[in-house]
C-alpha cells in the first residue's frame, strides 16, 4: 500500500514551506537572542574574573610590601620601618588596608560590570532605557538624601586609607577620643584609650587627626627648678641624665638622637623652668619620658638642686 497516497499521513507531515516560515519568524527569539544573552553573560563573567584577579594581585603585592606604581599612595609614611616590621604593626596595617581597598574595588567593579550587562540585555529585548534611567535617577536621588551620612563616611574612609593618615597600631587624637587604633574600616574607626574604653568614631565625623606614631616622636620635658637654685648646675645635671640614657644599650634602640637641653624655657616668681627634648621612635615617647624623669630627678638630687618653696611657705 502506498503510504504517500494516504491523505491523513500527508496532512500530518510538516510542510517545508510552513517550517521555513516558522523559523524565519521565530529565529530571532529562539536562536539569536539566546545566543546574544549567553554572549553578554559570558563576557561579563570573564571581564569580572579578570578584573578581580588583577585587583587580588595588586592587593597581595601591596600586603607584601611590593607596592605597584598605580598604588603608590598606599606606601607607609612611618619612619624606621625595620623597627615597625619587627613589631608586626606595619604588616598588619598594610594587610588591612590592602584587603579593605581590594574589597571595595571588587564590589565596585562587579556592580559596574553587571549593571552594564543588564542594560545590554534590555537592549537585546528592545526595551527602552529612558524610563529605566529616569526611575533609577529618582531612586538614586531619594537614596542619596536618606543615606548621605553613610556615603560621607565611606568616602572619608576611602580617602583616609589612600592617604595613609593612620592605621592599625597608631596612637591618634581625633578630638572625640584619643587612643590606639585597633581597627580601620571604610565607615568607622575603633580606638582603645588608656583606660581600656573602646571608641567607635565615624570616619565622616573626623575633621582633624593628630597621629603620634608616624616617622618619629618628640619627648619634651619641662623641669621646674626653684628660685635661688643653681641653674647652671641644674642644666648640667639634666644634660648628664640625657647622656646617661643615650649611653644605655637597653634604651639606645628607642632613641633617634641624643637628648638635648635647650635651656631656660620660662621664668616665674617661684621657679625657673628648664627644657629638655629627645627624638625617639614612634610609640616610645611615653616610656622614654618616664625613664628620663626618674634619671633627671636622681641627678638633680645628687647635685643638690631642688624645687624651693615660695618664701611664705618656708619654715
Starting at the edge strand that comes first in sequence, how are the strands of the sheet with 217-226 ordered? 217-226, 271-280, 260-267
Query: What's the rounded mean pLDDT across residues 98-122?
Result: 82
d(CA 294, CA 284) in angstroms, rounded, equals: 16
pLDDT attached to residue 85 = 47
pLDDT attached to residue 241 = 93
For the stretch 216-263, pLDDT in tens is 889 999 999 988 888 999 999 999 999 999 999 999 999 999 999 999
pLDDT attached to residue 312 = 39
pTM: 0.57
Phi-psi region for residue 80, left (φ > 0), alpha (ψ -120 to 50) or beta? left
Q: Residue 234: which of 291, 301, 288 has the closest Cα?
A: 301
More confident residue, 122 or 209: 209
Beta-carbon count within 10 A of 27 CB: 11
Q: Residue 171: which of 213, 123, 215, 216 has the closest Cα?
A: 213
Amino acid at each position: 500500500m502506498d503510504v504517500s497516497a494516504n491523505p491523513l499521513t500527508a496532512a500530518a507531515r510538516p510542510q517545508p514551506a510552513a517550517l521555513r516560515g516558522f523559523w524565519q519568524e521565530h529565529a530571532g527569539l529562539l536562536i539569536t537572542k539566546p545566543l546574544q544573552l549567553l554572549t553578554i553573560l559570558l563576557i561579563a563573567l570573564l571581564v569580572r574574573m579578570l578584573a578581580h584577579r588583577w585587583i587580588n594581585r595588586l592587593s597581595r603585592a601591596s600586603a607584601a610590601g611590593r607596592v605597584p606604581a598605580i598604588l603608590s599612595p598606599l606606601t607607609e609614611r612611618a619612619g624606621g620601618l625595620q623597627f615597625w616590621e619587627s613589631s608586626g604593626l606595619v604588616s598588619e596595617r598594610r594587610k588591612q588596608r590592602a584587603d579593605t581597598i581590594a574589597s571595595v574595588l571588587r564590589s565596585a567593579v562587579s556592580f559596574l560590570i553587571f549593571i552594564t550587562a543588564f542594560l545590554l540585555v534590555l537592549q537585546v529585548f528592545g526595551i527602552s532605557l529612558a524610563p529605566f534611567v529616569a526611575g533609577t535617577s529618582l531612586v538614586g536621588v531619594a537614596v542619596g538624601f536618606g543615606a548621605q551620612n553613610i556615603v560621607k563616611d565611606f568616602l572619608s574612609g576611602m580617602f583616609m586609607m589612600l592617604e595613609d593618615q593612620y592605621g592599625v597600631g597608631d596612637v591618634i587624637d581625633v578630638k572625640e577620643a584619643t587612643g590606639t587604633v585597633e581597627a580601620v574600616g571604610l565607615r568607622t574607626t575603633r580606638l582603645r584609650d588608656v583606660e581600656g574604653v573602646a571608641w567607635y568614631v565615624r570616619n565622616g565625623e573626623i575633621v582633624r587627626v593628630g597621629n603620634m606614631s608616624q616617622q618619629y616622636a618628640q619627648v619634651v620635658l619641662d623641669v621646674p627648678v626653684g628660685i635661688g637654685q643653681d641653674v647652671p648646675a641644674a642644666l648640667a645635671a639634666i644634660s648628664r641624665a640625657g647622656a646617661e640614657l643615650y649611653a644605655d644599650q637597653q634604651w639606645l634602640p628607642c632613641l633617634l638622637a641624643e637628648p638635648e637641653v635647650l635651656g631656660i624655657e620660662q621664668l616665674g616668681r617661684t621657679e625657673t623652668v628648664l627644657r629638655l627634648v629627645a627624638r625617639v621612635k614612634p610609640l616610645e615617647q611615653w616610656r622614654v619620658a618616664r625613664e628620663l624623669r626618674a634619671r633627671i630627678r636622681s641627678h638633680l638630687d645628687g647635685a643638690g638642686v631642688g624645687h624651693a618653696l615660695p618664701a611664705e611657705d618656708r619654715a
